[in-house]
């Protein structure tokens, strides 16, 4: 291993205590740019064409994970030929770091194409997201170490593997100067504990699209969940590579939340079988393959402004989503009416409670009907509650008929409110009925006028077209009517011929 010109050995003997284990043979390198699954840094099963839950992950690597980093995947930065200390089948040959990372990615490819991928329920990255990570539109035959995007991926994976094995408490003790080399990657991958708890929650929707928070257009400050899924991908691959090795630690990247550490700061937590187990003090049991998520008090975020920006962005997106959910009860089309009614009757229990409240509060005395009705259904709210007990389908059909039949909105409101009054058994006094109808007509007239004004360009265009058609018809009528046939010259009849006879 070469770090700033100094030779440093990163041994994995503490990770694998089985000194007699053989770690296979080094994979041959691809020749002539021809990749296959048996060649080094070639993983045709790791990627697939399709959509990613996050945005352009290759840009995330460039703009966040390796931004301003002085180290790269080469001999001047990270030397892939450095030894791990693990014995191969050849007595005189040790496994290099390049071969070790290759074996990790081989196991990851096997995990993604096996049935375990569905068992993880998208807890880790999918094949489509790995292709987005590489920045390729389609599968390429070039090995990862021969393209710039591939070398970036190998460097990030190296930092994650060493971080999982070492942990923040053992910084630079197992892998000397690792913190200096991977500091940029570690800061970009960090996330608060609340994001971790939400991601591993079995009830969370991990399949939904998250490109608004983590993409080229939305910025890469909200990529904490992408970080968690990437780290878990490498963790599950290490478990498959060595069953008796471990434990692993998440402490390089998991941080305390912005507000406070909260209760239980001295807890010990580990992640195993896709669930987190916490207890007071360290565990005395089998710690192989477990992922330690907490050992005492968590460190604070190195870049709290990143998480704050991501939280503000998420709140803004949630607010926009709520604004789009505003429903108009009677819109210009029948579909809006039906949708508004569906939103109003989303819960059967809410409907029953509202009907019971109306029947309880409405008095039987006709003199007090108007005042009571105004107190339950205030006119300034602009919403008419339809407390009907008819079937939902019948009500939807009635709304469709009212709007599609071309009637005015005030007539629709009058008929619906009249039917509703009969069903809820409202008072029959003339004062209450008149006041309700007048309020409905006044409100609907204003709505009708406002809709006409909002659609004045369309109305004006229709009027112009009609005028043009009428003028054209009139012109054609004048043209054809003006053509009169010439009068025929009537020849005098023989019977009527007159002859002048002269007499001498």
pLDDT of residue 283: 60
Q: What is the pLDDT of residues 39-95, one digit of tens each?
A: 999 998 898 888 888 888 888 988 888 887 888 888 678 889 999 999 999 888 899
Identify which of 254, 256, 280, 255 has the alpha carbon closest to the alpha carbon of residue 267: 280
pLDDT of residue 361: 45
Handedness of CA 267, 271, 274, 279 (dihedral sign): negative
Peptide bond into 247 cis (omega under 30): yes
Q: What is the pLDDT of residues 99-113, one digit of tens each?
A: 999 999 999 999 888
3 state SS of 125: coil
Distance CA 450, CA 444 (A): 10
Which tokens go with 262?
A: 């909260």
pLDDT of residue 334: 41
- State how far Cα 478 lies from the chain centre: 64
Q: Sort residue 280 into left (φ over 0), alpha (ψ -120 to 50) or beta.
A: beta
pLDDT of residue 359: 43
Burial of residue 290, with CB atoms counted within 10 A of its CB: 0-12 exposed, 13-18 middle, 19 or more buried: buried
pTM: 0.61
**Cα dist from 489 to 331, 486, 495, whole Å:** 70, 9, 17
Number of H helices, E strands in the chain: 17, 10
Which tokens go with 181?
A: 């080399």
Ranges under pLDDT 70 in the chain = 1-8, 33, 75, 115-121, 136-140, 258-266, 281-287, 302-455, 482-504
Distance CA 428, CA 422 (A): 9
Distance CA 379, CA 442 (A): 11
Which tokens go with 460?
A: 């004006």
Distance CA 186, CA 192 (A): 13
């Amino acid at each position: 291993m070469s770090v700033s010109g100094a030779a440093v050995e990163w041994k994995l003997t503490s990770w694998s205590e089985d000194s007699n284990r053989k770690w296979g043979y080094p994979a041959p390198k691809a020749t002539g740019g021809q990749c296959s699954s048996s060649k080094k840094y070639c993983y045709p099963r790791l990627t697939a064409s399709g959509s990613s839950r996050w945005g352009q992950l290759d840009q995330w690597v460039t703009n966040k994970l390796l931004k301003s980093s002085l180290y790269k995947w080469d001999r001047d930065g990270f030397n892939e030929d450095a030894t791990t200390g693990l014995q191969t089948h050849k007595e005189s040959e040790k496994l290099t770091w390049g071969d070790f990372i290759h074996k990790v990615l081989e196991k990851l490819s096997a995990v993604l194409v096996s049935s375990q991928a569905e068992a993880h329920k998208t807890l880790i990255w999918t094949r489509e997201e790995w292709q987005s990570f590489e920045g390729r539109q389609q599968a390429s035959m070039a090995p990862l170490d021969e393209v710039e995007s591939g070398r970036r991926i190998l460097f990030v994976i190296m930092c994650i593997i060493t971080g999982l094995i070492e942990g923040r408490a053992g910084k630079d003790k197992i892998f000397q100067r690792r913190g200096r080399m991977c500091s940029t990657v570690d800061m970009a991958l960090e996330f608060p504990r609340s994001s971790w708890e939400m991601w591993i929650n079995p009830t969370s929707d991990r399949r939904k699209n998250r490109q608004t928070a983590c993409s080229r257009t939305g910025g890469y400050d909200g990529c904490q969940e992408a970080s968690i899924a990437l780290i878990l991908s490498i963790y599950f691959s290490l478990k498959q590579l060595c069953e008796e090795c471990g434990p692993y630690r998440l402490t390089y990247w998991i941080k305390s939340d912005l507000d406070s550490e909260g209760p239980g700061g001295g807890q010990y937590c580990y992640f195993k079988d896709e669930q987190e187990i916490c207890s007071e003090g360290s565990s005395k049991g089998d710690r192989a393959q477990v992922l330690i998520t907490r050992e005492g008090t968590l460190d604070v975020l190195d870049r709290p402004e990143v998480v704050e920006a991501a939280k503000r962005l998420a709140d803004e997106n949630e607010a926009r989503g709520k604004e789009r959910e505003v429903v108009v009860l009677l819109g210009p089309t029948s579909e809006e009416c039906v949708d508004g009614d569906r939103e109003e009757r989303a819960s059967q229990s809410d409907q029953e409670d509202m009907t019971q409240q109306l029947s309880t509060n409405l008095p039987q005395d006709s003199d007090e009907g108007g005042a009571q009705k105004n107190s339950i259904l205030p006119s300034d709210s602009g919403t008419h509650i339809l407390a009907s007990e008819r079937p939902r389908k019948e009500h939807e059909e009635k709304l469709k008929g009212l709007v599609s039949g071309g009637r005015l909105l005030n007539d629709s409101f009058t008929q619906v409110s009249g039917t509703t009054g009969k069903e809820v058994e409202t008072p029959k006094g003339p004062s209450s009925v008149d006041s309700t109808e007048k309020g409905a007509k006044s409100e609907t007239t204003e709505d009708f006028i406002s809709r006409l004004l909002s659609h004045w360009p369309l109305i004006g265009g229709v009027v112009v077209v009609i005028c043009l058609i009428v003028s054209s018809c009139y012109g054609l009528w004048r043209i054809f009517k003006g053509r009169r046939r010439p009068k025929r010259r009537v020849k005098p009849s023989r019977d009527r011929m007159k002859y002048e006879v002269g007499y001498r």
